[in-house]
Amino acid sequence: MALDVLYFAWVREAVGAGQERVDPPAGTDTVAALIDWLATLSAGHAQALADRTRLRAAVDQLFVGTDASIVGAREVAIFPPVTGG
């Protein structure tokens, strides 16, 4: 299941890329499981994804919780909480 993962703000800076195409292992079927797996890819990924309370996600451009399914998804975005101003 190839999947595009998009990173924004300081998450992008820590990972070192704004986007990557990944092929998560079988059983990676929620946003939380994807984040857990992504955190194993590099030190930058581990740093960016260490504090799950500071992360938000969208699956195919819809805001979701980390318990949301990614089965059949084309894109997952990971970013810090958004504030207005």
Tell me, what's the pLDDT at 79?
95
Closest CA relative to residue 60, chosen from 47, 75, 49, 48? 75
Closest CA relative to residue 39, chosen from 62, 55, 63, 26? 55
Does the predicted model carry a pTM greater than 0.85? yes
Over 80: is that where the pLDDT of 55 sits?
yes
Backbone angles phi, psi at 37, to 5 degrees: -70, -45
Residue 72 lies in a domain: yes
Question: Total structural domains in the chain?
Answer: 1
Name the band, by pLDDT with cuts 50, 70 and 90, for residue 84: low
Tell me, what's the pLDDT at 73?
97
Domain hosting 25: range is: 8-78
Residue 84 lies in a domain: no
Residue 3 lies in a domain: no
Closest CA relative to residue 54, chosen from 2, 14, 3, 4? 14
Tell me, what's the pLDDT at 81?
86
Residue 83 lies in a domain: no
